[in-house]
Structure 1
């Protein structure tokens, strides 16, 4: 056998150290209740900052701390629209100029869908 082989111990086995002289960290039980009426407790360190909301292990809804701690209100930013982002890059005057230029190109047949510019049987060719 190789000299590095472990003898007399198995993986996941018991520790050979005893618990004399070991001082465990302080713990507290924190109670929560979800909107469905499920009550449960979570064990936390005495030093831990206790959250006001915890996910219910039964239904997954947000459960409130029974000690009365209220959750912080998060300041929500208003949704930015495409128009808001566009106005960050260009002024309204610039946008009006670009729109006018693109409409002139579209009406002149230089850009846009090909089916709008095909010469059909009833249409005459310009400059022919």
Structure 2
């Protein structure tokens, strides 16, 4: 009776000790991207794959481009907005007063005032 493990002696994520002789890896090319802070990002793509114009730098999170002398500018980080800030973008103060008056009228009606 087996102990329940069909692949005894191997671990998750392990690979063969040597590459398979009957297959070879797909052709690839290594592309270098540069961010505004001067970080170098090397990414491997399939040889026939189209190259993206920008790539996120893993060190600083800013966009990186293909031209070392002219990297893309820093991305603008939007501050955190609360739910109230989003509501105020959609509605004017007059709309807010009207909605509040309507809600208060409903509450007063339920209370019998």
How high is the TM-score relative to the length of structure 1?
0.45
Which of 1 and 2 has greater Rg? 1
Which structure is richer in relative contact order (CA contacts within 8 A, separation 6 or more)? 2
How high is the TM-score relative to the length of structure 2?
0.50
